[in-house]
Chains A and B, each alone.
Chain A
Amino acid sequence: MNVTIVDYNSGNISSVINSFKEVAKDKVNIEVTSDLNKIKSSDKVVLPGQGSFKSCVNALTNIDGLSDTLNEFVINNKKPLLGICVGLQMFADVGYEETETKGLGWISGKVSKIDNQNGKYKLPHIGWNQINIVKDSKIFKDIENNSHMYFVHSYEFLPKDKNVISATTDYSSNIVCSVEKENIFGTQFHPEKSDKIGLKIIGNFINL
């Protein structure tokens, strides 16, 4: 099996690479590339993302044919994709970080700044927070409700269809921290930085 981590200049992805390689051992081949043919032929794709919504979308569109290839992979071929952090946020129709920016539109909704209630909550939301699992998700197999995950973000994904939400976390409000829509998976938290339990989620995705 081939799992491809999309390398599209979206910031620091070494932790994502290290964690997937740790979980995959020698059994699964982990590719790190933006090569369109390699993405097309892989079984699963991981879409990381750090920095702003705008910078990630720009980085993605700067690589000729990449967003079409991902669209085909996810929408036409229905193959599994995991978005992490801004990778998940880009599923939305639109994001409002820096300036209004069009997203991939795979899961209808928008990405807005977390309401910090006039400074009552510090932003970014950094650190370990518990997840409230609201629906069965394949990537949460053997993951206990209220497990701790590592977060770093100031913006949140607000999907229109609440049925896609698989987990939320409590920070000023119930923030969407995980989604599953058919073959599309996303986590706002960083499984690659969430210790053994995060690696378990990565393993669940690899073993889908």
Chain B
Amino acid sequence: MLKNRIIPCLDVKNGRVVKGINFVDLKDAGDPVEQAKIYSDGGADEICFLDITASNENRDTIYDVVEKTSKKCFVPLTVGGGVRSIEDINKLLNCGADKVSINTAAVQNPEVVAESSKKFGSQCIVVAIDAKKNGNKWEIFTHGGRNNTGIDAIEFAKKMEDSGAGELLVTSMDRDGTQAGYDIDLMSKISLKVNIPVIASGGVGNLDHLVDGIKLGNASAVLAASIFHYGKHSVKEAKEYLDSKGIPVRI
């Protein structure tokens, strides 16, 4: 039986791990390579690096981080943030990333998704959807949550599936950094709309939120940052808790 995945996410800036509260107020909290190794040794199903300020800063440091991590961690590694072009994707994959997540570029130029999934295979193309509720719909935000595009998130999700995305990483901008739990409504609407796996992200504050993301949000995988990163819970604890709630996990 296929297991639901737990994916710790490390926000990286200038080669160092940080975790923002709603993308501001950053704190330096360690070396990403060592952090990733701790997670993979602790049973993380995948590791995710998000290069948070990549859209507007020199991002060469991330390549070095990815290269070092991929020589130490033998679980899938997803890297996102500031990925603009086929060339960026190629470079990250060559450094040892297994999947690349595309956010702003997928909105501005959906051809990048079609072209890259054709060139590298859908298995390594993750489209990151940052969405915020507006009335009774969700709209896509880009540039690390700064720009509202007005694009309907659920329709966009379907479009990305059709373009060849292998997975969708769905983040609620309303919940990100709040620790109030995933936007379950958003997750389940997208998950029911598409036939590719959905990774829920944004807002995890406790282990029940992970359970809700899978049971109520229909997510295939749950991504979280701060609950793992600040030592509140280990990945192992999270898995044991999910297991106790009847969710299939790899233990």
Contacts and interface: CB of A to CB of B under 8 A. Distances in A.
Interface of A: 11-12, 14-15, 18-19, 21-22, 50-52, 55, 116, 119, 122-130, 148, 150-154, 170-171, 192-196, 198-199
B124 interface: yes
Contacts of B119: 51
B24 interface: no
Interface string B106-124: 0000000000000111111
Given A152-B166, A198-B74, A125 B94 contact: no
B45 interface: yes
B70 A15 contact: yes
Contacts of B3: 127-129, 148
Interface of B: 1-5, 40, 45, 70-71, 74-76, 93-98, 119-124, 166-167, 195-197, 220-221, 250
Contacts of B220: 122, 126-127
A119 to B, nearest CB: 5
A15 B66 CA distance: 11
A127 B197 contact: yes
A14 B91 CA distance: 11
A51 B122 CA distance: 7
B96 A14 contact: yes
Given A126-B166, A192-B74, A12 B124 contact: yes
A6 to B, nearest CB: 17
Contacts, number: 99
A196 B221 contact: no
Nearest to A191: B74
Nearest to B70: A18
A126 B74 contact: no
B95 A127 contact: no
B74 A50 contact: no
Contacts of A119: 195
B75 A126 contact: no
Given A122-B220, A152-B123, A154-B122, 4 more contacts: A15-B98, A18-B96, A170-B1, A193-B75
A116 B167 contact: no
B142 to A, nearest CB: 25
A14 B74 contact: no
Given A124-B166, A148-B250, A199-B74, A50 B121 contact: yes
Contacts of A116: 195
